[in-house]
Amino acid sequence: MKPVRLVHNEIDSHGVREVERILRSGKLRRGEAIARLETAFAELTGTQHAIALNSGTAALQLALHAHGVGSGDEVITPPLCLPPVAAAVTATGARPVFADIDAYTYTISPDEVWRAITERTRAVLAVHLFGQPCEMNRLAAIADEHNLTLIEVVWEALGARYNDRRVGTHGTACYSFQDGMSIITGEGGMLTTDDEHVAQMVRSMANFGCDDNGQLQQPGYNYLMTELTAALALSQLPRADSYAKLQEYWAMELTHELKEWDGLITPAVRPGARHAFQRYAVRVCPEFPMTPSAICRKLAALNIEASCNPVPPLHQQPLFQLNGNIDAPRLANSDRVASELLLLPVHPFLEQDQVQGIARAIGIMATHVPEGEYELDPE
């Protein structure tokens, strides 16, 4: 069996040609590739405005700014998410407030969001972790009731759906094109919205605070996407949905093979939703005969990449440990899930024998068969 990567980043010949075309043009900034990407992305997501930026973190920070979040405000977020989520919140001067997750979907619990609201709360972040859609109807109802901004963090969920509706269409949404995402450009991101005012604010802030005429109107940043990044993203955009379907297929294959073993909790799929499976996250409970880290080591010896404890909860990060004010007992699900997580490969470039090899290797670990008494690839 060929080595199995956890993340497979591949730029096809079309992408290479598009980058070469931009390089030869000499137009590396604010050119036609960005304009075409924004138009195509808005069409794909069914939104009025798509704004190309230099990272998903920049998209989230500007989304918060554009919705009026600033110093002294609170933003409710799940603790089980990527550190840049908290970085974007703190960059606005606001304070992240952590609401625990559902232990089986790994997304923020609407009940915990409701409990976390104070008079200083301005926004709620719906982080579609690993490609699993959040419970958007309840989150939207809570946000409406308390006059809060609901922002979707779709970094890992391009192609996911909630009640036959794309995630990222419930308001302002942020996307990432980092390695391991559906679209990979090294760095890069996108913000989508149907709000004209938010779109104008984000475009200005991303361009140093200048308007379309180059007049400085407000404080801003240098968060614009380059033409090279846009060209790479454009070459991959048409395949994003088909890649999500491939990931879903391989995820279902793995779940079928792994669900029989005691001590493994395979990824849940929310009823009525489509999971993008940008990451395949299994929980390895104490009942399983090996720990997540031991499984990773065994898989690595078989040339299968995996990752254990990949997302330490934000409240365990040094910044928030130093600041204190963490209600740890209220975040028990995040702590437990994070300690049990194992990420397995489900990228679109897998082959059937590789998926079977992953399942067979873990099945062997589950049944305590000594390593010297089996072959991973029996004839």
Domains of the chain: 13-238 (3.40.640.10), 240-373 (3.90.1150.10)
Q: Give residue 319's pLDDT band: very low, low, confident or very high (50, 70, 90).
A: confident
Alpha helical stretches, state H, the chain: 13-25, 32-45, 56-66, 83-91, 110-116, 136-145, 196-206, 227-236, 240-258, 292-301, 318-323, 332-340, 352-366
Give pLDDT, residue 377.
52
DSSP β-ladder status, 280-284 and 121-127: unpaired
Q: Per residue in 103-160, pLDDT tens?
A: 999 999 999 999 999 999 999 999 999 999 999 999 999 999 999 999 999 999 999 9
Six token digits for residue 3: 């080595």
Give pLDDT, residue 202.
97
Q: Per residue in 329-378, pLDDT tens?
A: 789 999 999 999 999 999 999 999 999 999 999 999 998 755 444 445 54
Q: What's the DSSP call for residue 314?
A: G
Give pLDDT, residue 378.
46
Q: Is the per-residue pLDDT at 50 higher than 90? A: yes
Task: Give the whole-angstrom CA distance, residue 16 versus residue 234.
Answer: 11
Largest CA distance in the chain: 72
Q: Per residue in 243-276, pLDDT tens?
A: 899 999 999 999 999 999 999 999 999 998 999 9
Task: Give the whole-angstrom CA distance, residue 109 versus residue 79.
Answer: 11
Helix (H, G, I), strand (E, B) or coil at 299: helix
Mean pLDDT of 202-224: 92
CA dihedral 362, 366, 367, 370 (to 10 degrees): 60
Give pLDDT, residue 112.
97
DSSP per residue over 145-200, as a string?
A: HTT-EEEEE-TT-TT-EETTEETT-SSEEEEE-BTTSSS--BSBEEEEES-HHHHH
